[in-house]
Structure 1
């Protein structure tokens, strides 16, 4: 469950600039001056004035409000006694905008716990609820930050006036439900969209919990109807129904405009949440056949007391609910641990569920008190506080459902066994011969099933052996190719060293010739000879340069063809990725001399060394990069105007001790139907003779099974394909992950 921030009045300028807020003298008072607007915006808690009473002339821009009382509308209503005493009054804000901003759109977005009418320069823009000087006629309304466009006048000074009526019902409730009276905020339109997206995530999480709990409630009602003797199903159905009601109310809270109904649903959501947790304790008593005692009734008293503190206590925020949930979860954990010590059936499943819930709730409470900003961070695109509460409420539900399902299945199995025994005894009493025939038929059927199962197992084993045989054949081919490459590289290295050495010697001899015999020649002949010597020296230097480059390529081929020891070692992943990118590109250029592509690299300089098997990860990179070049080459052959093949390789070190390698191309892309099969063995889209269908399959096994990482693909047909390989930085992190998964 999440908490909403009530009563916001948001002034939003659709700009991305820098702001300068100052005070400028005007004829009727002080005005806030806006020069430019930053993307993050600013809270409007200064410059407002308040006057109790009701006069339509107060909306006019030329009205003199110099004697009005300054007010900070962002404070809680209890800290603004003048608003509560007045019942109805006016808020005014004078502001000036620069000529640049006068040509822009000014957006007003309001969230309120009151009834209001909004005026700009005397013109009524919007009315929310019913504003009246008679308190019983006031109808507060929640607009949920509905944006309003503000038409600026040609005057240098603008006046925003709000006729607002206080709803007296809020005075009796905790400031948790009414944290502020009126709050303004200057920001960009993009910020509004981000806030709505964030609230949409909250609503989706609440609806997922509502759906799951409602489904479980229906399931256990069916269990109870099937077997009324198991009253635990009845209490658990009530528990899940109450929890589902809580998340239903929370999910649709912002969609309700009437403040009375909104406040009621907010209170009902917390009441349902706490009542459901007590019903879960009652279900546990029934699960383990325990007698209901004083602790259970004490929980009901604590529930009523915490709800009263939550609704009417001041300064308690939502702490009564969290404290009560921790108390109830501790009791639930005590019951399950007691059953576990008595070796009761399947008690460990429930104990684990409530133990996880207790730890998550304790973590949520601790972070909210000590480091509340951590709860607003996102994990897998979900806010941490939503993920914690989602898991804390779902773990016990799933644990109890699993326990009940197991017990229901076991009871059904025992019932079927007893029924079979009765039928068997009845058959023996009526006809001994018929029983023998029936037993013989059952044995024959069982033997037939066993034969079919073993035949299927043998067929599966045969398929696996055939697949393994193909992999071994491919591995032998690759090994032979590696040996051939190594032999060729060794043979090339000797004449290459000869060329390099004699080129260097030739440069030295030409230098001696230039410094010796050439000096004695006549000037005209010496000048011509020196030009020839310089040309020869430059040619020999180019031979030396390209010879050394060829020598590095040969060494790279030898390193690539060297047999892998299968041992992890600290490796410079940036250098490894760059090496295989160049190797794949030059290999393709050797086959297709007319092919050209743009190579882009974005390597993280702070990547550091990564523990991995270089030869295996090199094979993965080579497969991915070769596929990228193949994709851009196929798209280039289509002859699209203005198309330029590009392959990008990037690395990045993440905060969770992971590194990511991304290989992206702007080639043909992968259709959705094919994308689901690309990691399957022997699946390929290349023509016969150009692909075996094992490259991505082996790469997937190397990354996931060999290195404990992940490999994913993002693509858009006709535009791009991007493979992302995530690897742990060290072997210790892989072992930690494996341990956590096994638990």
Structure 2
């Protein structure tokens, strides 16, 4: 690969050699178009003495040497040593700007007329510590002195690792090239062309690798795209190494990148063959495995063979192209669509590679010639590498387009079939919907009938159970009440008689006692009278409780009847009001009613609902009466009754602006025998009885809303929803919170 540096720097110089024995001095008369390659006149001496850089050193006993040869051709080289070149410059050259270009596979220090021009790498007497450096021909300006003879001295140190590789990878030991300004510019342009070509190929192959990877990800079943991806990626790596190679000055790294570029290039060629085997469905034969073997052999010859240059790689690439062309021709015989595109690409590559190999072997100057400022070398290699992969990409793109067109046709067919299927499904769905509606209607009718029957059965069962409970409870209550009634009457009568006897005792015998005894007896009689009065009071309370128990035990028919709740509420409201006025004629209150006109007839047990309403009205009038007795300024007693109907309930609301119920006892108002009234004025059975009637017999709710000293509101809700709907009972938590 590096041989082009030797080819470009041909010896087109007219050199006048003064053959005066051991003191021969090279004389440069003029500057050839390609510059001066300093390959003759050099003297060599092993060792390391910095004084050998000065022009006055006597180098007559030094060995003659050509440092532009490769290391294998210079067995006399010691690990460290010096090179010296004495030369003269014609007067016409002295007037030109001269530059020195250095190419080397070593570490060195370059001296001109005793002055250090440049140090390349790290020199050391220990070979393991030597760091070789690649200057890449960066120009160094030469300043000639007034002396007729100029001396160029080079101190070098070898890195032993280079001796293991072939002349192709280590093409020279040390090469100095003297150029004018025009040659420097031309050389830089030529190198920029090579670098641009390599980087352009790197970019193109990298993009193609991404394209084939996308093809593979889109269709993993076509594994040929995976191997095309590996092939293009390997070639991209090869051109990336060569494109950046001249920018790497550490020779160890440069050598590794150079080797990697050829390994990737040749291996990529075999991967391309493997991809064609997969693409055309050809079974792998001995030829395929032979290519892998030839790949290994050619890489070995390229790395370690002598005087072979890059011929093994060119020969191997010709074999790869021939196998690719053979596979493509075989696919064409099978009338595979579009295979001619690939065949054309491989044919172009094969022809260009054969021409390149022929010129490289027999006429290298033609490769260095330029056509339209582009070297023939680039014009041959660029399309040779690019044409196969472009042909493959065009073939796959064409195949993808054909598959897309076929897929579009099939999609249209699928769409038509889908539309027909959807039409049939819609017709079936309409028919099924009609049948479902009919079935749902029938199911709803039968379900409603079953729910009505079940509701009536549950209601009848609950009524029977509640009637039995109430009957049993009534009998038990009546028995207990009758048993308590006699001793209770005795206690009440005895208390009344005892009070009368105490009055007679106070007016009779008590008057005849002496003063001290009289006062003491009078005090005792007072306490006894107070005790008897309490017995009398609580006896009457117990008597009221007994009467309430007897009333509670009174049996009702338990039969539901269509009832006008508005009339029932109005009747019991006035009955309760006049009952309280009979006890206290001074009492008066405003009766406000809001009855819903369209309430209709409600199926309830009228005797039980009447008992509930009477109890609520009595409690309301009692509360407003008590607040009126407190003498509150501007207070007007008021009792409101309201009925209303919703979709599934009828509500009766009884509200008074009386004393209200304390918050601490709201949760206890439905407990039997609990009352907030003073002794003798309430039994504590009214609300308990009302709660059982509403919730257990009629499956309704009874809620309370109150604020102490402001108002009390009871809300009775009775279910009257659609037939068959079983109303839900209010939970105990809701009852408690209300």
- TM-score grouping bracket, smaller chain normalisation: 0.5 to 0.7
Secondary structure, aligned partner of 1:191: helix
Structure 1 match to 2:311: 319
1:26-46 deviations in whole A, cap 9, x for unaligned? 9x9443334554555433222
Structure 1 match to 2:243: 251
Residue 10 of structure 1 and its aligned partner are, at CA, apart by 9.1
Aligned equivalents of 2:149, 2:338: Cα separation in 1: 73
Counterparts of 1:30-41 in structure 2, within 5 Å, are: 30-41=24-35
Structure 2 match to 1:568: none
Secondary structure, aligned partner of 2:76: helix
Inter-CA distance 190–82: structure 2 relative to 1 (3 Å threshold): same
- Please say if residues 277 and 284 of structure 2, whose CA atoms lie closer than 8 Å, have aligned partners that are also in contact: yes
2:402 maps to which of 391, 400, 410: 410
Residue 370 of structure 1 and its aligned partner are, at CA, apart by 2.7
1:163 maps to which of 119, 141, 155: 155
Structure 2 match to 1:181: 173
Inter-CA distance 130–421: structure 2 relative to 1 (3 Å threshold): same
Structure 2 match to 1:222: 214
Counterparts of 1:218-617 in structure 2, within 5 Å, are: 218-431=210-423
Residue 25 of structure 1 and its aligned partner are, at CA, apart by 7.0
The answer to whether structure 1 residue 43 and structure 2 residue 37 are counterparts is yes
Residue 51 of structure 1 and its aligned partner are, at CA, apart by 0.5
Inter-CA distance 148–11: structure 2 relative to 1 (3 Å threshold): farther
Aligned equivalents of 2:180, 2:156: Cα separation in 1: 26
Aligned equivalents of 2:382, 2:282: Cα separation in 1: 29
- Please say if residues 119 and 126 of structure 1, whose CA atoms lie closer than 8 Å, have aligned partners that are also in contact: yes
Aligned length: 427
Residue 380 of structure 1 and its aligned partner are, at CA, apart by 3.4
2:51 maps to which of 57, 61, 68: 57
The answer to whether structure 1 residue 76 and structure 2 residue 74 are counterparts is no
- Which stretch of structure 1 is more off in the superposition, 93-102 or 267-276? 93-102
Structure 1 match to 2:617: none
Residue 11 of structure 1 and its aligned partner are, at CA, apart by 14
Residue 103 of structure 1 and its aligned partner are, at CA, apart by 5.9
Structure 2 match to 1:617: none
Secondary structure, aligned partner of 1:107: strand
Aligned equivalents of 1:87, 1:9: Cα separation in 2: 29
- Please say if residues 6 and 178 of structure 1, whose CA atoms lie closer than 8 Å, have aligned partners that are also in contact: no
Structure 2 match to 1:198: 190
Residue 182 of structure 1 and its aligned partner are, at CA, apart by 2.0
Runs of 5+ consecutive residues of structure 1 not aligned to the other structure: 436-743
- Please say if residues 11 and 187 of structure 1, whose CA atoms lie closer than 8 Å, have aligned partners that are also in contact: no
- Please say if residues 202 and 239 of structure 2, whose CA atoms lie closer than 8 Å, have aligned partners that are also in contact: yes
Residue 376 of structure 1 and its aligned partner are, at CA, apart by 2.3
Aligned equivalents of 2:339, 2:276: Cα separation in 1: 10
Structure 2 match to 1:23: 18
Superposition RMSD on alpha carbons, in Å?
2.8
- Please say if residues 269 and 317 of structure 2, whose CA atoms lie closer than 8 Å, have aligned partners that are also in contact: yes
Residue 146 of structure 1 and its aligned partner are, at CA, apart by 1.3
- Please say if residues 11 and 109 of structure 1, whose CA atoms lie closer than 8 Å, have aligned partners that are also in contact: no
Residue 386 of structure 1 and its aligned partner are, at CA, apart by 1.4
Inter-CA distance 187–150: structure 2 relative to 1 (3 Å threshold): closer
Structure 2 match to 1:142: 134
Residue 161 of structure 1 and its aligned partner are, at CA, apart by 0.7
- Please say if residues 45 and 184 of structure 1, whose CA atoms lie closer than 8 Å, have aligned partners that are also in contact: yes
Residue 312 of structure 1 and its aligned partner are, at CA, apart by 0.4
Aligned equivalents of 2:126, 2:7: Cα separation in 1: 24
Aligned equivalents of 1:140, 1:198: Cα separation in 2: 25
Aligned equivalents of 2:408, 2:59: Cα separation in 1: 85
- Please say if residues 247 and 269 of structure 1, whose CA atoms lie closer than 8 Å, have aligned partners that are also in contact: yes
- Please say if residues 350 and 400 of structure 1, whose CA atoms lie closer than 8 Å, have aligned partners that are also in contact: yes
Inter-CA distance 9–118: structure 2 relative to 1 (3 Å threshold): farther
- Please say if residues 6 and 179 of structure 1, whose CA atoms lie closer than 8 Å, have aligned partners that are also in contact: no
Aligned equivalents of 1:97, 1:206: Cα separation in 2: 38
- Please say if residues 99 and 178 of structure 2, whose CA atoms lie closer than 8 Å, have aligned partners that are also in contact: no
Inter-CA distance 159–8: structure 2 relative to 1 (3 Å threshold): farther
Residue 184 of structure 1 and its aligned partner are, at CA, apart by 3.0
Secondary structure, aligned partner of 1:315: coil
Higher Rg of the two aligned structures: 2
1:362-404 deviations in whole A, cap 9, x for unaligned? 1222222233322222233322221111111111111110111
- Please say if residues 77 and 180 of structure 1, whose CA atoms lie closer than 8 Å, have aligned partners that are also in contact: yes
Secondary structure, aligned partner of 1:130: coil
1:172 maps to which of 136, 154, 164: 164
